Structure 1
Amino acid sequence: MQKKNYYLESVLDLNASNVWGTEAQELLELWQKDIKEEGFSSSEEKVLNVIRLAFDVYHFDPKDDREVMRYSDGNYVILPCVDKRKGAVAIRKKEIRRITDLSYENIKHITASDLLKLIEGNFGGGWDSISLTIKDIIESAFDISTTTLPASRIHAAGGTLERKVADGYEALEIAKGTWVEAIFAKKREPVEKLRFVPEPEYDEDGNRRIVDEDTETDSESEEEGDTAGDDTFYGSYTPEADIKDVEEELADE
């Protein structure tokens, strides 16, 4: 069987942002590779603390048949510890069972359908029953909109529900008496952050680039542009516009 290519090269690369996107089997393969590296023992507990953010982690004695059976039901992956006195570690991905289990890290790893199931299970209170903190977490990864209409109109042809679904939104309907609240959710597209990449100091031949000091920069030209060729004040100022003092005005009279 062909080995799966993972985007992590080591368990030392784990952090709060990527651990939710990592599966237990991937961690096992990386762990088995890294555990052979000299000095890994000093990082072991730190790595386990990161893993705990997204996984249930249990230390157990691999010589205890009862415990071995408990963690060998197919729901866990077993990681051997560097220090044999610590036994072994069983890990299992945490389930997001309630809407309060959502975080800025794991919200990126669930589908719109999963999200709406969590909202539906939140005592049926609808969007307004969700705390502002959880709403902020949800809206960091999903486009959310709602509408409340009479039950007789919610499925009207060409209505909001039909248009939203056609636009790729998942919909949840919550009955509120004779009215229905529809909650629409669609995963946000990841936004690529733009970075400024400065021009290399050396060119392709290894020669240091020479900056022409006579070359006018944008900022210099903007500063000059504030006055040069300006016909708003100084440019329109003429000697004829000189203001005479009071004595000259009296003499003229």
Structure 2
Amino acid sequence: MDSQNTYWQDRAALEWQVELGVTDAILDAPLDRYDLDPVPAKPAPVAEMAPAVVQAADPVAIARAAAEAAPDLPALATAMAAYELCEIKRGARNAVFADGQPGARVMIVGEAPGREEDRAGKPFVGQAGQMLDRMLAAIDLGRAHADKDRAVYITNVMPWRPPSNRTPDADEIAMILPFLERHISLADPQFIVLMGNTPCQALLGQKGITGLRGNWTEVLGKPCLPMFHPAYLLRNTAAKREAWADLLALNARLKT
């Protein structure tokens, strides 16, 4: 065989081995790998074989601990604003805590802030809020009433505006509920008004405001009256008749 052909054949074989990942072409001594006994792999310890278990933080438990640690309403507002586990918060401008007079006989619980509430940082300041003020004034109630017996205190289930004003889902309501329950406990109203489906779902575990409204029930040991949300009344003016009946029922309880 021509020596030049042998050179090119050997070079091609070497390049092929390099492409396969060979790094050492010659050892110090010949090695027959077929005579080597396979070394069984050492089994990994059981602790290493088991997948690592990472327990995710329970957002409801964290909310409950933060809420229960708040000794008063300002501390509760701070704790709620610092809560980071609700995704709704990420798209909101402000935490909307409450308005009106703490210690008022009537506490109104709405659903969630809208655009105007998100901007102002107060509940019920948009068109629905103006409707609410007119409704309350009709029975001589108000968030800034000079007579504390005729004053109201207002909050929402959700302190942050949901994206596109959507309804908070069950998981979001569950993680905020400890703050709301603590809020009611610290405000200590005599009567609670639940305006809309979301507060009924949160505090009564029920939905269907059309069937619930006007029927007195109990929340956290306090008399509670579900009512239509003012935003609903703006869209369905015929329902104002039922809303007026509910306002009269509330006023009657306040006079007893």
| TM-score, with length taken from structure 2 | 0.18
Normalized per residue, the structure richer in helix is 2
Structure showing greater relative contact order (alpha-carbon pairs closer than 8 Å, 6 or more residues apart) = 2
Normalized per residue, the structure richer in strand is 1
